[in-house]
Amino acid sequence: MLRNVAVVLLDGVHPFELGVVCEVFGLDRSDEGLPVYDFAVASAEGPTLATHAGFSLAVQHGLERLESADLIAVPAGATYAAREYPEELLDALRRAVDRGARVLSVCSGVFVLAAAGLLDGRRCAVHWHHAELLARRYPKIVVEPDVLYVDADPVITSAGTAAGIDACLHIVRKEQGPEVANAIARRMVVPPHRDGGQAQYIERPLPRSQCDTVGEVLVWMAEHLDQEVTVEQLAARAHMSPRTFARRFQQETGTTPYRWILRQRVLLAQQLLEGTDETMDAIAWRAGFGTAPALRHQFVRALGTTPNAYRRTFRGPEAA
């Protein structure tokens, strides 16, 4: 049963992501018959911590507070993706998992869990902006770059900002049931449930240019998404055999040519749905899906929502 919750902070913590955990687990809602958690904020780096927003936090508890927690949350921080972490903190997180506690990360807090080795062999979520760096730095973990959160119990990871709310409510729902989670969501005026597999809203990124051997092919692929291509054709452009090209492509991008181009087509469709009034048939043709039904099928598979619903989200009901 979830009763004791601790949030552990490092210097440069993001106030919003900290506030998400405090809002779900740190408020006394006993007047509504909701559970009250033994909640505390702990510091891994002394009693006074800076935030990225320009103010400081005075924290009463140190790492000893983690020893009794059923759930330890690590919110995001401004430099968490590019710094070292106190070994005492990493040890405390490992001990927590060993004794049966859960750990939760919000956005870049996932780098701390990865450094502790808690994600090795596990799937995890992270803000799309950090996905490539996380996968490159920790090759033993499986990064899901476009989902809201991943429950790889006892390790729960979430993407940026509001996805942390979804992950926290998911834990409440899992431990105390949907009625409790829904009541907390109503108090917070947020959706009571967004499935973890729902996709993040992601801007269409440029192809990676730092690839050693397939970078020029990636640029060509991104510029010709409306064309059907084979591995043999792409390999010829890279002056390699198909087998060598497929292997190098996987090594340098972390995926297959088919999956890479499919993801780029979905991202282009997102961009067109958000920024144009083009019909579904036109978007399907420009993005390389051919027909509107094919676009809808791949869009739902990738993002968990339909193209029309996605357009309504960004442009209002009249746009669809």
Range 194-213 average pLDDT: 54
What is the rounded distance in angstroms from the CA atom of residue 69 to the CA atom of residue 73? 10
pLDDT value of position 208? 45
| Residue with token string 């807090």 | 109
* Separation of alpha carbons 270 and 64, rounded Å: 46
Query: How far is residue 284's CA from residue 271's CA, in Å, rounded to a whole number?
Result: 12
3-state SS class at 226: coil
* Residue pLDDT, tens place only, 39-81: 999 999 999 999 989 999 999 999 999 999 999 999 999 888 8
Q: What is the pLDDT of residue 249?
A: 87
Contact of 257 with 246, CB cutoff 8 Å = yes
Contact predicate 4/70, CB 8 Å: yes
* Mean pLDDT score, 28-45: 95
What is the structure's pLDDT at 187?
A: 87
Residue 99 has pLDDT above 60, yes or no: yes
Model confidence pLDDT, tens digit, residues 151-179: 999 999 999 878 999 999 999 988 998 88
What is residue 155's predicted lDDT score, i.e. its pLDDT? 97
The structure's pTM equals 0.67
Phi/psi at 211 (5° precision): -65, 140
Mean pLDDT of 245-261: 86
pLDDT band per the 50, 70, 90 thresholds, residue 144: confident
**Angstrom distance (rounded) from CA 258 to CA 242:** 13
Which two three-digit tokens encode residue 28? Answer: 């006394």
- Domains of the chain, each with CATH number or no CATH: 4-188 (3.40.50.880), 215-319 (1.10.10.60)
